[in-house]
DNA sequence: TTGTATGTTATACACTTGACTAATCCAAAT
DNA sequence: ATTTGGATTAGTCAAGTGTATAACATACAA
């Protein structure tokens, strides 16, 4: 029988080990035995607690995204000028790369491409992510007095989310060309918008 | 002994089968036996011709990217207004999704995240891709009379490439929210630039 | 015709996989 | 002191893995 996933040191050890292995070797190279070894427990416990690797990855996703969305939500909820939030968000882009945090995220996505259950869950996480961003961008765009007819919030949010995903993807592939230039361009543009508004 | 990869029906059958399986089940679920069955030949021949699955995937990548880059190059080289090229490029975004073409590309990338050899090759392909785009965008931006100080070609190209990658990634994950809005916004913007230029 | 290289099949080998079970441990409840 | 039941271990199992090799088939040059 599969046990309920209570607050359990072993379960936590499994989830931590899974994240480390996703970073180090990718989902395709994670087996129950390798995972158990990384977690420092017997390999039978994977089946005991999760029933299968698929279920385990779902548990990894749940814990991961809860943390991710919460951070993003808290960041945008702060009472600071929009450009500061933007810069914080862009700094995450670097931090999360160095920590391997993004690798976890994208490995789960690659896994989900061939696993309808996981894909469905990931799509819902993505919706939450978009909603958080839209909430933060709508007032900002209004403050910058952008023409929402020509530049709808939905389109802007999509642009921001997708180019961020693209940057992460490229960096995972070892490509960094043009990233700094793009981020600088956007930052300058935001600064110029701020300047216009003050006139 | 591994045989040289001459013009060989079996080799072609393997590469075709590999592309189909990348679309259908992803790289992690492709084994020599499954590949051989899909190709309709004995599974020992994978080792005979390629030596390993890793080498096979490299061969798949080589053939795939040659076709991809050539199409992109030919498209941008055509003697038509920039906005037509843009629209053609954006139509590829839909076509390649339906054909599964993008799935092949991204599966190879996900594989490359954990395989330095493949990653190195993919990075070089990306450079070629960027170069092709830069060549097409530089004159277009000049014609649109955009301030290259504020909007450098490198940054614009990075923005275009990354948001395209992001869109593909989201669609592979079953997410389509905001894509149409974004593409419409950009198209309208290009049309407005064309109008300004004619004044 | 013979000899040799090549393409292909069949099969064997050693090993790993995820799933599963029985046995044991151990702390808390009785 | 004993029972209980969840947590953990060790180990089994059939299926599947990549690799290797011998055997067969075919083609073509000597």
Q: How far is CA A167 from the centre of its chain?
A: 13
Cβ–Cβ < 8 Å for A177, B131: no
Q: Which nucleotides of D are covered by protein (CB under 7 A)?
A: 6-11, 16-22
CB contact under 8 A, A166 and B170: no
Q: Any idea which nucleotide's C1' is nearest the CA of A35?
A: C18
Cβ–Cβ < 8 Å for A181, B160: no
Q: Which nucleotides of C are covered by protein (CB under 7 A)?
A: 6-11, 16-22
What pLDDT is attached to residue A131?
Answer: 94
Cβ–Cβ < 8 Å for A112, A171: no
Cβ–Cβ < 8 Å for A123, B174: yes
Q: Which residue matches tokens 């995220």?
A: A105
Residue B125: name the closest of B195, B88, B73 by CA: B73
B69-91 exposure pattern, b = at least 16 Cβ within 10 A, e = fewer: eeebeebbeeeeebeebbeebee
Question: Rounded to an integer, what distance in angstroms lies between the CA atom of residue A107 and that of residue A65?
Answer: 13
CB contact under 8 A, B188 and A113: no
- Distance from the Cα of A100 to chain B's closest Cα (Å) equals 12
Question: Rounded to an integer, what distance in angstroms lies between the CA atom of residue A132 and that of residue A186?
Answer: 20
Least confident window among A24-28, A116-120, B9-13, B123-127: B9-13
Spell out which residues of B between 25 and 54 contact strand C, using CB within 7 Å: 41-45, 48
DSSP string, A20-52: HHHHHT-GGG--HHHHHHHHTS-THHHHHHHSS
Q: Which of B114, B119, B157 sits opposite A25 (nearest CB)?
A: B114
CB contact under 8 A, A177 and B127: yes
Whether the pTM exceeds 0.75: the reply is yes
Q: Is the pLDDT of residue B96 over 60?
A: yes
Summarised one tens digit per residue, pLDDT across range B130-167 is: 999 999 999 999 999 899 999 999 999 999 999 999 99
Q: Which of B159, B166, B174 sits opposite A165 (nearest CB)?
A: B166
Confidence of residue A195 (pLDDT cuts 50, 70, 90): confident
């Amino acid at each position: 029988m599969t046990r309920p996933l209570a607050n359990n040191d072993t379960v936590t050890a499994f989830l931590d080990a899974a994240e480390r292995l996703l970073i180090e070797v990718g989902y395709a190279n994670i087996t129950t035995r390798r995972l158990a070894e990384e977690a420092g427990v017997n390999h039978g416990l994977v089946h005991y607690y999760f029933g299968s690797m698929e279920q385990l990855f779902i548990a990894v996703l749940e814990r991961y995204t809860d943390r991710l969305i919460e951070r993003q939500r808290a960041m945008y909820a702060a009472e600071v000028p929009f450009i500061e939030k933007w810069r914080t968000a862009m700094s995450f882009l670097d931090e999360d790369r160095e920590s391997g945090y993004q690798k976890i995220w994208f490995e789960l996505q690659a896994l989900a491409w061939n696993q309808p259950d996981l894909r469905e869950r990931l799509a819902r996480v993505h919706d939450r992510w978009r909603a958080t961003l839209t909430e933060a961008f709508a007032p900002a765009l209004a403050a910058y007095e952008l023409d929402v007819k020509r530049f709808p919030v939905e389109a802007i949010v999509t642009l921001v989310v997708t180019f961020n995903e693209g940057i992460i993807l490229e960096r995972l592939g070892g490509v960094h060309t043009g990233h700094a230039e793009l981020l600088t361009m956007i930052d300058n543009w935001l600064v110029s918008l701020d300047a216009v508004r003050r006139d």
